[in-house]
Amino acid sequence: SQTIHQWPATLVQPVGSPLSLECTVEGTSNPNLYWYRQAAGRGLQLLFYSVGIGQISSEVPQNLSASRPQDRQFILSSKKLLLSDSGFYLCAWNIVGLGLQETQYFGPGTRLLVL
Amino acid sequence: AQSVTQPDIHITVSEGASLELRCNYSYGATPYLFWYVQSPGQGLQLLLKYFSGDTLVQGIKGFEAEFKRSQSSFNLRKPSVHWSDAAEYFCAVGPSNDYKLSFGAGTTVTVRA
């Protein structure tokens, strides 16, 4: 069966510090991968998605970047964090075209607090 | 462009009472529709999904949803809620040409004893 991992679970960082959040998927190959942010009291905002290694699409201009160095690894980064980067970051995956009907499956999330 | 509206930001329901969460969507073709649930501090868990066929879809935890094309709705229901159903619920529609989902803003459900 497929599983998705995110770490760290919680992170407190000072403004201006770098960021690296990691997401890995097990039990599947060539998934689509997604990064979402959920700010307090708000819905999900799609930040990035990737349909393959090295292929990253950005949804909104921001202080963050994403990379996909391996098939099942998706990394969210920042060189200098802003206060507004605080939130709950969710990684998701799906497989398209194999009868799984585009359902996205989510990881447990990383809570980021920038002080 | 696809979009989802969840008109109710917050709903309070008594334990044992019925629950209905509203979801309206905008999509140019036959949509794929989803309901997810998120407990505090957790990721999203898929409750149910609709792709085609029977418009009444059964999901986990005793939830069901009905697709009504004429009303562009996909409302979620549960006949009798349990305290553990207190959570935030998200409706989503897809796919776009890029296989992205569009999520509603969510409905927070509070269950009172």
Measure CB to CB from residue B99 to each of A102, A105, A108 and give the nearest one: A102
Q: Do A46 and B100 touch (CB under 8 A)?
A: yes
Find the closest chain B residue to A5 by CA distance.
B43
Residue A77: its pLDDT value, please? 97
Residue from B97, B96, B78 nearest B87 by CA: B78
How far is the C-alpha of A96 from the C-alpha of A17, rounded, in Å?
36
Q: Give residue-wise pLDDT tens across range B86-96.
A: 999 999 998 65
Answer positive or negative: Cα dihedral of A81, A84, A87, A90.
Answer: negative
Q: Give residue-wise pLDDT tens across range A64-76.
A: 999 999 999 999 9
How far is the C-alpha of A51 from the C-alpha of B30, rounded, in Å?
23
Q: Give residue-wise pLDDT tens across range B69-105.
A: 999 999 999 999 999 999 999 999 986 556 788 899 9
Measure CB to CB from residue B90 to each of A43, A49, A109 and give the nearest one: A43
Residue B27: its pLDDT value, please? 83
The answer to whether the beta carbons of residues A80 and A51 sit under 8 Å apart is no
Find the closest chain B residue to A48 by CA distance.
B100
DSSP B31: P
How far is the C-alpha of B109 from the C-alpha of A42, rounded, in Å?
14
The distance in angstroms from the start CA to the end CA of chain A is 38
Whether A49 contacts chain B with CB within 8 A: yes
Cα of A90 to nearest chain B Cα, Å: 7
Cα of A78 to nearest chain B Cα, Å: 22
Burial (CB count <10 Å: 0-12, 13-18, 19+), residue A55: exposed
Residue A81: its pLDDT value, please? 96
- Write out the two tokens for B109: 């459900």
CB pairs under 8 A between A and B: 53
- Write out the two tokens for B17: 């009472």
